[in-house]
Amino acid sequence: MQDWAQIKYLHTSEGLSQRAIATRLGISRDTVARAIRSESPPHYQRAVGPSVFDEFEPHVRQLLTEFPTMPTSVIAERVGWVGSASWFRKKVAEFRPEYAPKDPADRLEYRPGDQMQCDLWFPPVTIALGADQFGAPPVLVMVASFSRFITAMMIPTRTTADLLAGMWALLSNQLGAVPRRLLWDNESGIGRGGHLAAGVAAFTGMAATRIVQCKPFDPESKGIVERANGYLETSFLPGRQFSSPSDFNSQLGQWLPIANTRRVRRIAAAPVELIGTDRAAMTGLPPVAPTVGFTSRSRLPRDYYLRVLGNDYSIDPTMIGRMVDVHADLDTVTARCDGLLVASHHRAWSTKQTITDPAHVDTAARLREAFSSNSFCHISGDDMVRDLGDYDAIFGVDFGTEGVA
């Protein structure tokens, strides 16, 4: 190719004859003549001949017609191929697209205020949860589809109670408005098969929105939040260490305002530039916040502890034997009896723990002392003798004074 370009230059630009060019370059005049007549540089092309693969091709095509996703290794076994495995893969890959089903993805357009895409991101980190336990709790990520505005926070579990509490925290604290739709995949805590989990419908009714569940194997429908997950993993996570879930959320809260100032090529703007338009088209926060979190009602046993989300929390012992209403949000666990607050604890992210309020222990000690002092037992030295009248009172026997000698 270099000789051809040089011959063309000497002949057209400098006007040298074929003899002069041949003499200067030290090549034959026939080579110079062919180069001058050629409109393009010479290139080598191997002659196409019969291939060993040709006799296998019809059978391979038949298998791909019936089974478009059949692995190449299985195809090679079925047709009896004994040659090079890499070359066979290359040949099959050339015409496999002819038989693969087509699943085109449309480029979607989003209206302001219409939609937020929701997903759980599981960061590949290990965080201290307390009580010598470690784990990687999920991060709830919600992205406004129109403005690409990212909201996110780590939550204790992926249960329905924590998902709803997390969604409300992001909508009320980070977004400040409610979109018309919340887009989810088939997350079990939200619902599956077109059926919402218990409590989800009440939440959406109070918040004046609705849940839309994507069809399985349809990642394009929520590709915005999927890309946000990847952005968090590659831009927020590297080089950071977290001492606790609250530390994770603190660092994430400081980073998100910076992330939302980045310019997004698809919308040719930064999320902070469009979030105002997005919010204006959304519904305002409801005057009464929806009830979120875990709620249960139990009778308080003698040991004055109730199990809540895998941990035992102490309750005021004066409520023993009475029905107690327990509520757990993302941060606290509270208990009430007839509207009276009888316990308040910070929620533990670890499990199988016993969380005790020292005031409850003191109250229990006073109650035991009072119970012992009011005993029916009469103590004389080391002997304990019960008054026979106690048994009469228990069994309802009243002899009066008749028949007494």
* Whether pTM exceeds 0.85: no
Would you tell me which CATH number, out of the four given (3.30.420.10, 3.30.365.10, 1.20.140.10, 3.90.1720.10), belongs to the domain 115-281?
A: 3.30.420.10
Strand partners for 268: none
Check: CB of residue 348 under 8 Å from CB of residue 312. no
Residue 45 has pLDDT above 80, yes or no: no
221: part of which helix (H) or strand (E)? none
Residue 405 has pLDDT above 50, yes or no: no
Amino acid, single-letter form, for residue 200: V
| Burial status of residue 266 (CB atoms within 10 A of its CB: 0-12, 13-18, 19 or more) | exposed
Q: What is the pLDDT of residues 243-286, one digit of tens each?
A: 999 999 999 999 999 999 999 998 999 999 999 999 999 999 99
Inter-residue long-range contacts of 330-335, CB under 8 Å, 24+ positions, other chains counted: 330/155, 330/156, 330/162, 330/165, 330/166, 330/169, 330/293, 333/308, 335/306
Sheet arrangement for strand 210-213: 150-154, 139-144, 115-121, 181-184, 210-213
pLDDT at residue number 48: 63
Residue 381 has pLDDT above 50, yes or no: no
For residues 119 and 220, give the distance between their C-alpha atoms in angstroms, rounded to a whole number: 13
pLDDT at residue number 317: 95
Residue 49 has pLDDT above 80, yes or no: no
CA angle 367, 372, 378 (to 5 degrees): 160
Top pLDDT among 398 and 185 is at: 185
Mean of the per-residue pLDDT values for the chain?
Answer: 88
303: part of which helix (H) or strand (E)? none
Sign, Cα dihedral of 214, 216, 218, 224? positive
For residues 17 and 33, give the distance between their C-alpha atoms in angstroms, rounded to a whole number: 10
pLDDT band with cut points at 50, 70 and 90 for residue 117:
very high
Lowest mean pLDDT among 57-66, 181-190, 287-296, 388-397: 388-397
Annotated domain spans of the chain:
2-37, 52-98, 115-281, 294-371
Check: CB of residue 325 under 8 Å from CB of residue 212. no
pLDDT at residue number 38: 80
Q: What is the pLDDT of residues 139-179, one digit of tens each?
A: 999 999 999 999 999 999 999 999 999 999 999 999 999 99
